[in-house]
Amino acid sequence: MSPILTFRIALKALTANKLRTLLTMLGIIIGVGAVIAMLSIGSGARYMVEQRIQSLGTNAVFIWPGHRRGRNRGADGNEARLTVEDWQALEKLPEVAAAAPIVPTGGEIVYGNANWSCTIYGTTPVYIYQKDWPVASGRLFNDREIQSADNVAVIGEQVRKELFGSADPVGETIRIKNRPYKVIGLMTEMGVSGYGNKDNTVFVPYTTLMKKLQRTEYLRFLSLSAHSREEVKRLEKVAVDFLNQRHNIEDPDNGGFGAFNQAEATEAADKSTAIFTMLLGGIASISLVVGGIGIMNIMLVSVTERTREIGIRMAVGARGRDILAQFLVEAMVLSLLGGAAGILLGSGLARIIASFAGWPPIVSAGSVALAFGTSAGIGIFFGFYPAYAASKLDPIEALRHE
Amino acid sequence: MSLVELKNIRRVYRSAGGVEVQAVKGIDLVIEAGEFVAIMGPSGSGKSTTMNTLGCLDRPTSGSYLLDGQEVARMNRDEWARIRNQKLGFVFQGFNLLARTTALENVELPLLYQGVKSTKERKERALEALASVGLAERSHHVPSQMSGGEQQRVAIARALVTRPVLILADEPTGNLDTKTSDEVMELFESLHQQGQTIVLVTHEPDVALKCRRVILFRDGLIIGDGDPGEVLGTIAKGVIS
Ligand SMILES: Nc1ncnc2c1ncn2[C@@H]1O[C@H](COP(=O)(O)OP(=O)(O)OP(=O)(O)O)[C@@H](O)[C@H]1O
Ligand SMILES: [Mg+2]
């Protein structure tokens, strides 16, 4: 019989019992929907992690002293210390596009009756440029203010919220360790993305922090940037070697200088989110298989329930293979329609989840193709046995069936 | 050449316990084209078994069956399906229409399996068959919206639509009341007058009397064959009780 007629017969049989058809499809709809949604969550999470790491600056290399590795972990003793001179010497290397010193400390900020704890960074505007972090109002500190270690501060959005509410803080005076600081700038909101809450930050000139807030002669970190992403790895090595040499470090793994770059971290994070995505996909695939078994189950029940129908069809001239084809086509139409509906459901879910999680709703063509292919496969695989069983029925017995 | 020639047909059922039931014990039967035949006999006498053999639904244990000049007893399932589709029409006691499917679609069904591709042609032929049983205006009703008599007429239309050489009806009026049963028999009679060969099984003498020939079964054998009045008379006289 021609495929068109087989298709017609199968469609008529499906539309003759819409409720059964819908219930059968439900398993596939949910299975495919779950796969699409899960894969989309995976992609979203991966996007978030990448964003997070990139927000630190993809070309950036972080340098710190006192690096210990392997058997040296936890040991103490002589270790290198990072100085302002180290920074200035590094800045002259051709591999270094920009370099910023970082000295962090915690502290309480007081404004009027309100007080609030946050992280205070002593640095230069270069560090903020490296992060591509715009100023919302006011300005960053200038060279003159750094030279003279002025009491000026640039505050993060959360600090503003806690101390000033919605008012503009620029021009106001806050107190840190009982000294007045003039607020000269407010940073834009970064959200809770990135490592830690960046909005709960106050920036002051590194000179101010070293001389007035912490009384230290040493820097804690350097943030270097390479000329391009490709040069990050080389910069890391050049900078670490340069510093180790400058400080006559014999064993760089025991108290020498350490480095961390975003490019590598991105790759590592990509790998771990890929595993996460696979895990989610795997869980969702199980529900797809369950949906397939559901189809087989209902098709099997339906073969029993439709025994008389099959007998009638055989009496009027259907061959075994016509019945087989009809049931297979029915199963495939069910799976494909269910698959299509599942893709819609999954994309909808992905959208809703994305709007809550704050990542873009990524539904990749690959995941749609995968879900669709699997549902077609499920139709054939799980539809075959019931269809075969139906095709082998004896017409007389089938007609006698109540 | 006769339309139907059964020679020494036997049918033995073997149940799971190994018990053998001889449902038909070697019958010979010739039916000519255009005949209108009733099969009668007590319950369990082998009427349905014989009808299933005639309908290429059940394989006899032994014997030969020539239908329209073709030996069909040893054909395979697929060949049988083709014979049923092209040469035979069935009317069952329980109507056996597809539920939730309109009269028109039910009647179209054999044409679909015949491979009639044109939707228009299928529809026209199905409507024609429905018209010939007086149900053209009910073509879009589903079985649950029709009376038993109407459903049986739809089933007859389905049997007719392929213009089969033989219509087989196993107790077609068994589920109907006297009035609708008369309607159905009138329909068979008019088909007979148009030259259609019909074999039906019945328990009702009224129904058998409307036929031209009655075949009487008992214990898997034919024990009477001839004019309805005569054969029914022998039953009445208790000759074969
Ligand atoms: N599938 C089967 N398995 C075993 N025995 C069967 C089977 N079908 C029929 N029989 C037996 O064969 C015999 C003839 O049955 P058949 O159905 O032909 O009778 P019938 O004349 O049609 O009876 P009724 O008037 O009750 O319909 C009966 O004894 C019946 O029990
Ligand atoms: Mg019977």
pLDDT digits (tens, 9 = 90+) for B117-139: 999 999 999 999 999 999 999 99
Reply yes or no on whether the pLDDT at A53 is more than 80: no
Q: Are A225 and A257 members of one domain?
A: yes
Domain identity same for A152 and A118:
yes
> What gap in Å lies between CA A190 and CA B59, rounded to an integer?
82
Range B39-57 average pLDDT? 96
- Beta-strand ranges (E) seen in A139-284 are 152-155, 173-176, 179-187, 201-205, 221-225, 254-261
Tell me, what's the ipTM?
A: 0.94
Domain boundaries, chain B: 4-236
The answer to whether A194 faces chain B, any CB pair under 8 Å, is no
Q: Whose CA is nearest to atom 26 of ligand 1?
A: B43
Residues A203 and A306 in one domain: no
A148 and A230 share a domain? yes
The answer, yes or no, to whether residue A24 has pLDDT greater than 90, is: no
A46 and A76 assigned to the same domain: no
Name chain A contacts of B82, Cβ cutoff 8 Å.
317, 319
Residue of B51, B59, B82, B109 to mutate, testing the A interface (most A Cβ within 10 Å of its Cβ)? B109
User: Is residue A55 very low, low, confident or very high in pLDDT (cuts 50, 70, 90)?
Assistant: low
Residues of chain B neighbouring A321 (CB-CB closer than 8 A): 78
Orientation of helix A3-16 relative to helix B103-114, angle to 10°:
150
How do residues A210-219 score in pLDDT, each as one tens digit?
A: 999 888 999 9
- pLDDT, position B22: 94
Residues A235 and A103 in one domain: yes
pLDDT, average across residues B227-241: 77
The pLDDT of residue A271 is 80
| Cβ density class B66-95: b for 16+ within 10 Å, e for less | bbbeeebbebebeebbbbbbbbbbbbbbbb
pLDDT in tens, B157-175: 999 999 999 999 999 999 9
Q: Residue A381's pLDDT band (boundaries 50, 70, 90)?
A: confident
Same-domain pairing of A367 and A298: yes
Residues of chain A by 3-state class (helix, strand, coil), percent to 5 = 55, 20, 25
What is the structure's pLDDT at B140?
A: 96
The number of distinct structural domains making up chain A is 2
Indicate whether B84 pLDDT > 60.
Answer: yes
From A262, A284, A305, give the residue that closes a domain.
A262
pLDDT higher at B198 or A290: B198
**Of A234, A262, A290, which one is at a domain's C-terminal end?**
A262
Q: Does residue A64 share a domain with residue A45?
A: no
Q: Check whether residue A228 and residue A307 sit in a common domain.
A: no
Share of chain B above pLDDT 90, in %: 90
Q: What pLDDT score was predicted for residue B211?
A: 94
Structural domain span for residue A174: 60-262
Determine contact: A312 vs chain B, CB below 8 A. yes
Last residue of a domain, one of A224, A241, A262: A262
Structure confidence at residue A92 (pLDDT): 92
For residues A225 and A110, membership in a common domain is answered with yes
Specify whether A35 is located in the same domain as A130.
no
Query: Which of the following CATH numbers is that of domain B4-236: 1.10.10.10, 3.30.950.10, 3.40.50.300, 3.40.800.20?
Result: 3.40.50.300
Residue A86 has pLDDT above 70, yes or no: yes
Ramachandran bin of B39, using left for φ above 0, alpha for ψ from -120 to 50, beta for the remaining angles: beta
- Let me know whether A327 and A257 are in one domain: no
Is residue A77 over pLDDT 70?
no
